[in-house]
Structure 1
């Protein structure tokens, strides 16, 4: 990140911190203000006089604190950094149960770096460095249609435009982020309580969602209509849901009582004997590409691997304790870190101030801890999420992106032995929860605890485009 972009984000972050104090009865004005503020910074923040910027940032913070009578530690904005270190100590509990020390700092490094001889291959993808490729500095658009935390974002499969936003205000919105201007295509309203999860079908024609009201809804995306609403097998709230990656007629969902339920969405029936009970509330789920392995993360800090057969019947395989009673808020599986390094990996957000990488070591889904990065995340109620960057290339390095409770978005190169942080985005004024890339990495969506969704772009926008 160059100096100009760094200071632009610092100033933008200060304004975002105080934006909630502006015009309490006019939320549209707050959104308009922060959009215009971002545009002005792009147009006038081109001088590289860092001393002048420091002075401006200090004075502006003092004026805002006096204006709104709110204390804000200036050093937390200008000097706040993330300590990102690799490594940890692992102590065996049983052959199938592992525990890492949440305060540990070092892990075994596993080298998955593409060979330096692949120059021609890297040239095909532009031969950009990781830092250049993920220099997201521009705010493409800001959505504020939700009035409660937006805890989950998902771009449609192989689609750079459609974004699904899941909110605790009991609604789901589908946005077109590449239209001019970006628009909210529809808001889905059937759930009566907070919506906690969603997933796109493989062809993006259907969507499934779940809620604390104990129901699972199947949506027809084209008509924006709910075509099936099914109550859970108990009255417990449902916290996560996923389509089976191969058979989209099957949906797996996890509830507050630790029950994993398998639903046939065509019939609206839970097949007898297909459910499975694990310990704790099931906050996160992920499948491997074949649909034969499923991992479930709970609020007890436990990840359970399960076998899923062709009919959707689940069988428990292994368990690991990531950190005792520290919620597992996000799971994401990937078979390849880069094109030259096959390395099935599970990406895990844990409310022990950690983003962890686990190597999937065998066909039974057993996990071995590989790396840990410190990211601010302590509250189990704060559903901080992360994602792998979708494009695999022959360039050296591979990235993940994670939200955090310090209101920043972090890009982390999981291959480097040092200087892991590739980029840091500052635009939210509260904990960043959801993160999602579109398939070609041209846009990144992030959401926060106040319901704001920011679409970030590599490309600079003119004032006309921004509005």
Structure 2
């Protein structure tokens, strides 16, 4: 019997993770333990079962979960007639055709699909039953990590479905993994990069971290021991020897990692072999600064130094990329962050993409076809003209009125915006940093928020209960 590919069990655990919020919604600890145990069992049994049986199991489990909870992946909608490379998205498209299509799609959402409703008591309880402004009021600083003071922080990220496991990177070339409760402590320090770490990504089960650096390498780390499991120079995967700015685990298949570098190259790497397959690459005309997958892992958006977003469709079986659309967000202004979200609240039920633009803007787009075409929805003013500032959607799929995003800012603040509020959309600002805020990250239940700045300080904020 041939040994099965690990892809199937990784897809099973990814499927479980997507539905995890709907299991025992009042017991978040159980959900975390459930995913950990599932991951452990699937890894242990991956080599004991025929590949065809496991693929059949994945299909059946997907059907059963969809019947019980409804589909939660990205909604595929028919491709519109919008075409062309270099579409300018600075203004909202108000064409009647696009509006009619959205009205048609909204009316087609059946009762079997998982959508926000006023009757969702458990989810509303998680959101706190408060207004948006009340929900994003913070009691103060839970802890400050200053072990990298003097080196600009580059990224901060909570682990998946974890309340207190946090990691942050800096230009010192180090990644620190911290536990925030019961007492904040740096558990593991990942050392090995010869220059600043520009980005990193947690694996779905949080047992691995992949990181990239100005030293033109990718490293794969074991998070519990801090051991470097794999070191991949750019030249080994056909990329130019230059800074790598961003990296992402493929959300459905964590055996694949996508990289983007200063030469505009995008490459998909099989992390088990350390190699890239034919066709698993793309090329932009300027440096790749940011990337994001949709929740299904089938669309990849890439942001460039010249202010364009290019979408790619991703073949889950082969890792091959196929170019979709190229869209001009803000000509000549680097796009420093892209984030994607299936839906945010009962008022914001469209698949959405959030983009940080170095033109003092945070822009929100809706996804309007299955190849990643974006339509401008609205913009929010922030101080952002120089640094690689990042943002995120607030993680709770909000069942309260309003839906929020949070971003760093060069005015030394952490900014919260309600995307559905037309008048004064900024609902809160956290002040405490003494230099530009580069990145922000919420834990899964929004009880804590982490932010980092250009001086290397990482602040963990605690939300009011």
- TM-score range (shorter-chain normalised) is 0.7 to 0.9
Aligned to 1:80: none
**Which residue in the other structure is 2:137 paired with?**
135
Q: What is the correspondence of 1:154-165 to structure 2 with a 5 Å cutoff?
A: 154-165=157-168
2-structure distance, mates of 1:372, 1:210: 30
Maintained 8 Å contact 2:116/2:345: no
Q: Helix, strand or coil: the match of 1:132?
A: helix
Q: Secondary structure at the match of 2:336?
A: strand
Partner of 1:175: 178
Contact kept? 2:281, 2:320, Cα under 8 Å: yes
Q: 1:186 to 1:324 in 2, by over 3 A?
A: same
Using the TM superposition, give the Cα deviation of residue 187 of structure 1 relative to its aligned residue in structure 2, in angstroms.
1.4
Matched with 1:416 is: 421
Partners of 2:338 and 2:287 in 1: how far apart?
14
* Contact 2:89-2:327 at 8 Å conserved across structures: no
Q: Residues 85 and 327 of structure 2 are in contact (CA less than 8 Å); yes or no, is this contact kept in structure 1? A: yes
Counterpart of 1:268 (choices 274, 292, 295) is: 274
| Residues 405/123 of structure 1: CA separation in 2 closer, same or farther (3 Å cut) | closer
Q: Tell me, in whole angstroms, the C-alpha distance in 2 between the residues paired with 1:436 and 1:248.
A: 21
Q: Does 2:401 match 1:396?
A: yes
Give 1:117 deviation, angstroms: 6.1
Give the direction of change, closer, same or farther, for the CA distance of 1:128–1:211 in structure 2 (3 Å limit): same
Residue from 325, 332, 336 that aligns with 1:329: 336
Matched, 1:152 2:158: no
The 1-side partners of 2:270 and 2:120 are apart by: 48
| Counterpart residue number, 2:435 | 430
Q: The residue matched to 1:131 in structure 2 has which SS?
A: helix
Question: Which residue of the partner structure matches residue 4 of structure 2?
Answer: none
Select the residue among 158, 165, 169 that pairs with 1:166.
169
Q: Distance in 1 between matches of 2:116 and 2:179?
A: 39
Shift of 1:340: 6.3
- Give how far 1:99 is off: 2.3
TM-score computed with the length of structure 1 as normaliser: 0.73
Structure 2 distance, partners of 1:115, 1:294, is 26
2:378 is matched with 371
- 2:209 maps to 207
Provide the residue aligned with 1:444 in structure 2: 449
> C-alpha deviations, 1:251-295, integer Å up to 9, x for none?
000011000011111011122331111121111110011111000
Contact 2:346 2:401 in 1 (8 A): no
1:375-423 C-alpha deviation (Å, 9 max, x unpaired): 11011xx011111110113210000001111111111000112121111
Equivalent residue for 1:350, pick from 352, 357, 364: 357
Helix, strand or coil: the match of 2:278?
coil
Partner of 2:244: 238
- Confirm or deny: 8 A CA contact 1:201 1:248 kept in the other structure: yes
Compare 261-270 and 339-348 and name the one that shifted more.
339-348
Provide the rounded CA distance (Å) in 1 between the counterparts of 2:93 and 2:181.
41
- Give deviations 1:76-132, integer Å, cap 9, x for gaps: xxxxxxxxxxxxxxxxx974433245xx8x8879999x9996596786444211111
Classify the secondary structure of the residue corresponding to 1:393: coil
Consecutive unaligned residues of structure 2, counting only runs of 5 or more, are 1-81, 107-114
Asked if 1:97 corresponds to 2:94, the answer is no
Distance 1:206 1:299, change over 3 A: same
Name the SS of the counterpart of 2:421 in structure 1.
coil
| CA deviations over 1:421-461 (Å, ceiling 9, x no partner) | 1111110111000100000100000000000000001249x
Determine if contact 1:153/1:447 at 8 Å carries over to the other structure.
yes
SS in 2 for 1:336: coil
Q: Kindly state the Cα deviation for residue 185 of structure 1 after the two structures are TM-superposed.
A: 1.0
Gaps of 5+ in 1: 1-92, 461-467
The alignment covers a number of residue pairs equal to: 361
Match of 2:188 in 1: 186
TM-score (norm. length: structure 2) = 0.74
Secondary structure of 1:274's aligned partner: strand
Q: What is the DSSP-based 3-state SS (H/G/I as helix, E as strand, rest coil) of the residue aligned with 2:424?
A: coil
Secondary structure at 2:272 match in 1: coil
Contact 2:199 2:247 in 1 (8 A): yes
Larger radius of gyration: 1
Q: Determine if contact 2:446/2:463 at 8 Å carries over to the other structure.
A: no
Conserved? CA contact 1:283–1:298, under 8 Å: yes
